[in-house]
Structure 1
Amino acid sequence: MLDQATRQQEIDTMPKPETGSTAGHGHVPMRPGDASDELLYRTLVQEIEDCAIFMLGLDGRIRTWNAGAQKIKGYTADDIIGEHFSRFYTPDALARGWPDYELEQALATGRFEDEGWRVRKDGTLFWANVVINLLRDPSGKPMGFAKLTRDLTVRRQEEERLRQSEERFRLLIEAVKDYAIFMLDPDGNVASWNSGAVEIKGYRPEEIIGRHFSVFYGPEDVAAGKPRRELELAVRFGRVEDEGWRVRKDGSLFWANVVISAMHDSSGRLRGFAKVTRDMSARRRIDELERSSQHVSEFLATLAHELRNPLAPLRNAVGVMQLEPALTPTLASCRDMIDRQTAQLARLVDDLLDMGRITTGKIELRVAPVDMKDVVMHSIEAVRPLADQRGQVIEVRSPQERLVVEGDLARLVQVLQNLLNNASKFSPAGSRIVIEVEGEARAVLLRVTDQGRGIAADALERVFTLFAQEDRLLDPTHNGLGIGLTLCRSLVELHGGAILAASEGRGKGSTFTVRLPLARQHACRRDTDRLPGEQPAPGGALRVLVIDDNRDSADSLAMLIGLKGHEARVAYDGAHGLAIAREFLPDLVLVDLAMPDFDGFFVLRELRAQPAFHSATTAAMTGFGQEQDRERSLSAGFDVHLVKPVDIALLDELLASVSERRAASGTARPLP
């Protein structure tokens, strides 16, 4: 609070309001009153704290200073009286000559009003509403200015938050392509139209806005009054949901899920309807296929289960015959034939059962550390009789170190055994089958290569389809159900892996490659593989500063940059970002344009004003990607304009470009 002597001095210097006169444009006359009324008025102005009210001379120097001015701007009367009012303006405003312009306008028109950033005594900024009125003496001659300043920082922050919320909502609605989201007026006419509506219904905005939404309904629904009835239900209950056929612009039908919500203003008056439509045609077809597939799977499971019943006594009978020493060579040959065919039938039934379990989601893996050498050994043991019978050689190529995966040993053996069985069955007698095991950084590769019939290029993917048999027409003697490779793929994918088929064509053999993730504690580290948080090669890391008031966006982008081997810092507002920049000295600054308080353009100007940041690359980030938005960013001084969400490929290109720029300039600094 000002001391009494200072307050009285300022009151005495204030111009006395003229009584009963209207002379001078911009002058506010007072009713006639005694001296005590005048003193009361001046004291009232002096004691106001929520508004800075002070006088300027025609030269712009401060002549009075009230309590509100001290509270808002931080200066005492002794600090500021006699100083030029331009010290309240930012460097950017001073460079534009804005204080002089304000006084010129007030002098010319009698009054000037503005909003913008102003500077307190401690250097902090606040958003101000400023009104400057010209003061005249009784003869009408200009004698100075009355200046009123209000701190509207809180209001601006709220407005900015609301603007950003509306912008994010608009961008969200516009970006959605899987849903038609649009508004109807109270009469049911289309009032807005998003990109999803264009995608789903086929109309461009200019073709549909203003037309009644009943155009999306079939003639029968329109004749039955369905569109009108849905709006009535939405008004009555607030919301209505429906599924049914709808009509696109080209006349085709699609199965739609439709939600209509009534929109009311604060007084309860109906303002229109929000309408969300999803194209459920594919989902409907998938549901029908899934139901059909479920029935097939249940049938297969039942069939396989029933086939197991007669197999048990057959296998038992073969076992008894194998114990009988007095069998003639003919009967022994028949016994061995029955044994082989029964084993083949048992394997087919097992595959059928497993396929039924997988398709119905009933198969469970018994996961434990599995050495791939054990998988190879057990699989070869199982397939050896078939290979020996055909005079085939199985060659194993495997590294010395242990390659361990987390999986079900029995199921992995089943996968490799199926691949070996196929290789043996479709390869000529006396041929060679090669098993290769190879370790990668975080995976193990298992390849089975044969010298058999090969696979046509257009069938490399089809061989994994259930019941598909590429060779059935060429050679009906190769029996089977077409389940084996489908089962292999399903089991491999249950282990988090993948399987691929390769062949140079008919008669040139085939290679099946299984990729499985290594167990974490056994993963092979390579020099080129760097885990998150590890430092890259010396001199390769960039200093990157991310400034964005959306914390999730800032944190996730910084995390991504960190995983790419760079040092990233985060700031959630412009002021904090500038403070970090002064300490961190970044090579690259990624700045969100729409931030409260200091927006991205202000941050850029502050950075460019300091020589330490002249070599830094600056990139603007925004949800706006029109050409004029890019031009505005680049003309303001940004090096790059990035549209949110930032494309990973563009980010990689930007990081590489900054690295090259830094290397060329020799400005690399060691990381802290």
Structure 2
Amino acid sequence: MTFNRSVRRKATRHKPARPQAADDDNFKLMLDAVRDYAIFKLTETGIVTTWNTGAQRLKGYSAGEIIGKHFSVFYPSDKIEMGWPEEELRRAIATGQYAEEGWRVKKDGSLFWASVVISAIRNSAGEVTGFAKVTRDMTERRRLEELEASSRRMNEFLALLSHELRNPLAPIRNAVGVLQRVASPGPEILERTKTVIDRQLTHVTRLVDDLLEAGRITTGKVKVHTAPIRIQDVVDRAVEGLQTQAESKGQALDVRMPDEPLHVQADHARLVQVFQNLLDNAFKYTPAGGRIQLEVLSEDRFVSIRVKDNGRGIEAQSLDSVFDLFVQEKDPTSAKDEGGLGIGLTLARSLVELHGGRIQAHSPGRGLGSTFTVSLPVLERTSPPEQGAYPLQHYGASVLKVLVVDDNEDSADSMAMLLEVDGHTVKTAYGGTQAVDIAAAFQPELILLDLSMPLMTGYEAIPLLRDAVRNDHLLVAAMTGYGLEADKARTSAAGFDAHLTKPVDLRALEAVLTLAQERKESGKKLH
């Protein structure tokens, strides 16, 4: 028997082909959703043709502002001058893809450390029709890598620190020994010992300040408080603080600045610190009779400050590491220990980068001098800076009644002596309870109050002292080894009128004395 088997086949349904335009739209939506990467396309000559949300977020330009412009706008001026943007395109064509890391410029002129990949786009005939570019901000990763590298040098640094702190302590101890052994030291001995002690204490203070700053860098606590300032004012203040150092070594310091004011958005005190570190570095590595030049230049969207010397110079292989924490390039031929902790240049770079700028080192080689260049975004439009924003205040001959409170008796007594030399009437107290008793009878017009005292801290003592004096014009200044911005905010919130960081800078002390005298005079007028 034969059977006929009919086979039924299921019809296959074909979906219509998706239009290419729809795919392109979806791809564009996907790119726009990427926020951590700047992804955009360039023509074969480097003109920007597309722009995603991540690019706007990272670089600051909207699509309408950047499409149609050449991508060299993202590069620092020195890279543009050397033709680096075009060189990157040539390398991408040669290998298909080129990747690098380096500084790039945002719309506001600030710099960031970028990871960049450029891929050549070719048509079916193999001809280059453009480029795809992906950029990511790696500034934070770069800083972390540098910090990790610096921690490996910590043991060596601690040994160096011990050495550096003992160096200035030795001449101080010797000078004090001279004063102890001479019954009636004459003017010459007093002048010599005074100079030694003052110079070495300044050195110790700077070492401690640098250590604190290094700690803030490693914990990410360095802050800048910016305002529109004239770069010429910053340079003047930096030079003012170090002119004596150059003169003591017979070095010439040549400062060149344009007459036209150049403004930057910056923290005045922090930039002074940057240029003082660079100048101090130049003085240290330039021999007696050498020449140091500081020049301020306006370059495109930046103001550049160059510190150039004709000193020891830097080996080519060391140029990349001179800014690393705790790194110093030693001169094997030098018979003299040049000293230092290897912190100053690290601080300078960190502070410059916090301002959206950058710092570079250049040297033709050993014995041929060095040049350090700081570039900061120039502020095109600004209101004139307030005159007298950083005056040197001096107090007059008016006598104040001052109470110095410190559980460290040497600290209290030496501050009292310093004030008595200028004619003020001073009493000392070595604890909070004693200070309250003395204040009630003495009725001081100014109290310099230590914070970290046993039994009763300065924070606990201040309301009791104000209650004991009962004078609305009384000025109470905190006197402490803690000098961070958070510490100053805390003392202000606790009712202190001023904050002096130990060792107390004489300029800061003068300012407090001036303010106390002004309050005293205003109190007299009211009565």
Query: What's the TM-score once normalised by structure 1's chain length?
Result: 0.32
Q: Select the structure with the greater relative contact order (CA < 8 A; seq sep ≥ 6).
A: 2
Structure possessing the higher radius of gyration over alpha carbons: 1
Query: What's the TM-score once normalised by structure 2's chain length?
Result: 0.41
